[in-house]
Amino acid sequence: MKKKHVGIIGMSVMGSNLCLNLERNGYLVSIFNRSYKKAKEILIKNPNKNILCFKKINEFVNSISKPRKIFLMIKSGNVTDIVINSILKYLDKKDIIIDLGNSFYKDTIRREKYLYSLGIKFVGAGISGGEMGALLGASIMPGCNKNVYNKIKSILISISAKYNGVPCVDYIGPDGSGHYLKMIHNGIEYGDMQIISESYCILKNLLKMSNLEISKIFSTWNKGELNSYLIEITKKIFLKKDNKENYLIDFISDVAKNKGTGKWICKSALEIESPLSLITESVLFRYISSLKKERCLASKILKSTETNFVCKNKDFFIEDLRRSLYLSKIISYAQGFYQLRIISKIHKWNLNYINIAKIFRSGCIIRAKFLDKIINAYKNNFKLKNLLLDNYFSKISYKYQNSLRNIVSTSILNGIPVPAFSSAISYYDSYRSNKLSSNLIQAQRDFFGSHKYERIDMKGKFHTNW
């Protein structure tokens, strides 16, 4: 029997689409799923394809040519360990396992170490693009030993999205770096979604616009600086009607769920002391959204003061909102990339921010026109500390800051929650400040706990008997 090129375990929609993607790109694919029936369905739905399905895990492993390349497209967490353990005894040295799940990067580091001790190679690869990305081309972020990457490079390139012919995959760095980057990608995704939804809230509740009008605004915005996949789908969402001819968006519950990667990025930010305020607010907002019953009760008790907002010039206000969205987006990415710098130093990952921004240009959820600006910024200065310090971004920040100030203050005065927008302008004002109010915090710490403080006019640590 002719041996197969690759194997995939996990036939969820992502796994089965990835299987079809590999097959379309010339690979013979062995597939395995916990439920054989589900795997078999793929064969039935896709007859005459180079796909072979196995009932027994040992038969699946044996069918793949050595050194084997086995993709895992399964739920992250314990399941990944269980699946790895279930194939271990059938593997040979030099076989490669590629985990494409949304795994926690510390798990990836642990798994790689363990498998290496057994002679098995391991790749922790973040993958973005949802179901369509898996089928037509995804953005892929592999973290592993460079030699191992070279062995799977051509496969990953073939299934990746292409941006003007350039594959949206590149070597990220050692061990958990690929999954860490995917976590940053997801955090940025949360931030983008949050600022878009805050804009929606302002258009709907302050300007009292209809879904049709809101869709038109997003459509116009998508033609300029804000051009991105998330703005593109947002404009479409406002037009969708249900089978009763109602706009669907008005009937969707306002409780936003999450699968946990947002929580991880915030935890990591706290752990490595990275000021990731905008993404953190976006994660917290999902938690507030889930307090539906409490919110309904509180809405009857905690009334806002009466406001009668009058928009003097709608076009100017909408332009302010567009600028706020763009500047907040820049600040969110600046914070995300800043966190990458910190973690890269800690783990000596030596991340290449130009390549990272390139990978995000197609296939993934955060694909956006302005990634080219990020690429330029790092090309101009590879050691750039904070994206905001780049010439283009600092100019935009200077130009757009008053729009953001206007949108945030107007929203707050009118009782509209804008935690991500507010955190953006607060970060901007804190980061650009050469004198914060933290001298008082130092004084208080010393007052009650003799924690000592530093002076601006003398070297050393001081304590005062307050």
99 bridge partner residues: 72, 124
245 catalytic, yes or no?
Answer: no
* CA-based torsion, 36, 42, 45, 47: positive or negative: negative
d(CA 189, CA 102): 14
Q: Does 12 contact ligand 6PG by CB under 6 A?
A: no
Q: Which is nearer to ligand 6PG, 257 or 435 (CB)?
A: 257
189 catalytic, yes or no?
Answer: yes
CB-closest chain residue to ligand 6PG: 128
Q: Which is nearer to ligand 6PG, 366 or 375 (CB)?
A: 366
* Shortest distance, position 126 Cβ to ligand 6PG, whole Å: 8
Which one of residues 365, 368, 375, 408 is an interface residue with ligand 6PG (CB under 6 A)?
Answer: 365
Residue 143 DSSP code: E
Instruction: Kindly give the pairing relationship between strand 453-454 and strand 166-167.
Output: unpaired
Q: Does 362 contact ligand 6PG by CB under 6 A?
A: no
In angstroms, the first-to-last Cα distance of the chain is: 84
Q: Which is nearer to ligand 6PG, 266 or 377 (CB)?
A: 266
Q: Residues 69, 182, 329, 373: which is the catalytic one?
A: 182
Q: Residues 4, 69, 112, 189: which is the catalytic one?
A: 189
Which one of residues 142, 174, 262, 419 is an interface residue with ligand 6PG (CB under 6 A)?
Answer: 262
Q: Which is nearer to ligand 6PG, 257 or 459 (CB)?
A: 257
d(CA 409, CA 423): 12
Which one of residues 259, 379, 385, 452 is an interface residue with ligand 6PG (CB under 6 A)?
Answer: 259
* Shortest distance, position 76 Cβ to ligand 6PG, whole Å: 9
* 51 SS3 class: strand
Instruction: Kindly give the pairing relationship between strand 121-128 and strand 162-163.
Output: unpaired
Q: Please count the residues of this chain forming the interface with ligand 6PG, following the rule CB under 6 A.
A: 13
Instruction: With beta carbons less than 8 A apart as the criterion, state whether 73 and 99 touch.
Output: no
Task: Give the side-chain half-sphere CA count within 13 A for 234.
Answer: 27
Instruction: With beta carbons less than 8 A apart as the criterion, state whether 162 and 359 touch.
Output: no
Instruction: With beta carbons less than 8 A apart as the criterion, state whether 5 and 25 touch.
Output: no
* 299 SS3 class: helix
Site track for ligand 6PG across 182-201, x = CB under 6 A: ----x--x------------
Site for ligand 6PG in 96-115 (CB under 6 A): 102
* Shortest distance, position 419 Cβ to ligand 6PG, whole Å: 17
CA angle 451, 277, 363 (to 5 degrees): 145
Q: Which is nearer to ligand 6PG, 30 or 128 (CB)?
A: 128
d(CA 254, CA 289): 6
Site for ligand 6PG in 228-257 (CB under 6 A): 257
Q: Which residues are tagged catalytic?
A: 182, 189
Binding residues for ligand 6PG, rule: CB under 6 A, are 102, 128-130, 186, 189, 257-259, 261-262, 364-365
